[in-house]
Amino acid sequence: MFVDEAEIEVKAGDGGDGVVSLRHEKHVPRGGPDGGSGGHGGDVIVLADAHLRTLVDFTRQHHYRAESGGRGGPKRQHGGDGADVVIRLPVGTLVCDADDRRVIADLVQPGERVIVSRGGRGGRGNATFATAARRTPRFAQKGEPGETHRLSLELKLLADVGVLGLPNVGKSSLIARVSAARPKIADYPFTTLAPNLGVVRIEEGVSFVIADLPGLVEGAHRGAGRGYAFLRHVERNRLLIHVLDVSLPDRDPRDDFATLNRELALYRAELADRPQLVALNKTDLRPPLEKLAVVESSLQEQGYPVFRISALTGEGVAALMGTAASRLAELPEPTAPDARVEAPAQHASPDALRVERIGDGSYRVAGEEAERAVVMTNLDNEEGVRYLHHCLQRMGVIRRLRTLGAKDGDRVRIGSIELEYVE
């Protein structure tokens, strides 16, 4: 079963909590704090696996969760880090944020790894807060929650050559003739429902990957038939082979050629300029030579190399594949059309702090550093809350709130938590 689209939800591990602990050994006077910090939560990582060909596994499992970090312990024991979760995807998968369509990863190289959801930082134990002025801190941080994302997965086949044409022109037969791929082939007027990949070997050391692109009909760029689902696969092809059926007496192959090229241009303008070879197929059915000559001459005048072939008997196929290999050697490596990847860096630098008034006696603070400080504070611990106030002061939050006119008792929302302003 070929599946090239899926949606999953990923949750990175939460950081482990730091602990409050004091040394009580009999022979250690003024033992002091020795609470350890929590471990970091595991990340969620996507990995390009060359052995996978479809996203079918993600129709059964939609949720992936990394392990949370361990809680710290006394005697400065550090909690263990949570295990990462590695999600294996086919090479050619585009990973986007399902909500804002931001591209997170474009997996075009086997073995490529990208973190798509970062684990939370472990909370600091009270031993790390000890200073000359604060000798016995009785507070610790909670672990930072791991990131949660809904991801959209979109597979775009990585093939050097794409074979396109209207339904029943012989694309599957051509793939079966030139490679070891074995698509279902029969005498019926329906289109193949899934792309077929094969490897064409010309000679020792010369080979390329070929794929047929089924489901293309007039209106494909609007989703007619199965076209929209498979037009995306053309984006990765460096060279196209356009197969035309010349055996039908009541159809002009030139009209079919113009129809599909129009669909390519409407879907993505630059695809219409992709290099193409034209294969006039089913010559074994002995179409009129005059018709063949007219079609061949017309397409050659437009600058397209034209080959008369029979996918059934193999006539002319070797010359077509040889030319394809020669053209590929001249063409540059493809650049991904969606190369706007914004993969998150491990614990990226905090974003700009924003403080604004949202109503009478109400304020909102936004900023990664401030939000993290709040969510990692145990708000039931008075000493911990005083330390949070000190951190917000150091970040400039208190000064900005004072400038906006904040008074004792006003409400301040930082992230998802609402606090009371106190001078």
Q: What confidence tens digit (pLDDT) does each residue in 351-386 have?
A: 589 999 998 899 999 999 999 999 999 999 999 999
Distance CA 154, CA 151 (A): 10
Q: Where are the domains of the chain?
A: 5-155, 161-330, 354-420
Average pLDDT on 104-116 reads: 93
CA nearest neighbour of 331 among 199, 239, 241: 239
pLDDT reported for residue 304: 96
* Contact call for residues 163 and 175 (beta carbons, < 8 A): yes
pLDDT reported for residue 193: 55
pLDDT reported for residue 179: 87
pLDDT band at 345; cut points 50, 70, 90? very low
- Give backbone dihedrals phi and psi of 364, rounded to 5 degrees, phi first: -130, 135
Average pLDDT, the chain: 87
Q: Write the CB contacts of 84 (distance below 8 Å, at least 6 apart in sequence).
A: 42, 43, 44, 45, 66, 67, 119
pLDDT reported for residue 229: 57
pLDDT at 222 over 60: no
Percent with pLDDT over 90 in the chain: 62
Amino acid at site 99: D
- Residues linked to residue 94 through DSSP beta bridges, in sequence order: 106, 154
User: Domain 354-420 sits in which CATH superfamily?
Assistant: GTP-binding protein OBG, C-terminal domain (3.30.300.350)
pLDDT reported for residue 77: 96
CA nearest neighbour of 174 among 216, 202, 211: 211
Which tens digit of pLDDT belongs to each residue from 228-283? 456 777 888 899 999 999 998 888 999 999 988 888 888 888 888 899 999 999 99
Amino acid at site 292: L
pLDDT at 316 over 60: yes
Distance CA 10, CA 97 (A): 11
pLDDT reported for residue 66: 98
pLDDT reported for residue 271: 84
Distance CA 142, CA 145 (A): 9
Cα separation values, 86 from 213, 247, 357, Å: 30, 51, 42
- Name the CATH architecture for the domain at 161-330: 3-Layer(aba) Sandwich (3.40)
Class of domain 5-155 (CATH, top level):
mainly beta
pLDDT at 342 over 50: no
* Contact call for residues 194 and 229 (beta carbons, < 8 A): no
Which tens digit of pLDDT belongs to each residue from 145-183? 999 999 999 888 778 999 988 888 888 899 989 987 666
Cα separation values, 142 from 17, 21, 38, 135, 138, Å: 4, 14, 8, 20, 13
pLDDT band at 221; cut points 50, 70, 90? very low
pLDDT reported for residue 352: 80
Q: What are the structure tokens assigned to 201, written together?
A: 């070997």
Amino acid at site 293: A
pLDDT band at 195; cut points 50, 70, 90? confident
pLDDT at 25 over 80: no
* Contact call for residues 42 and 192 (beta carbons, < 8 A): no
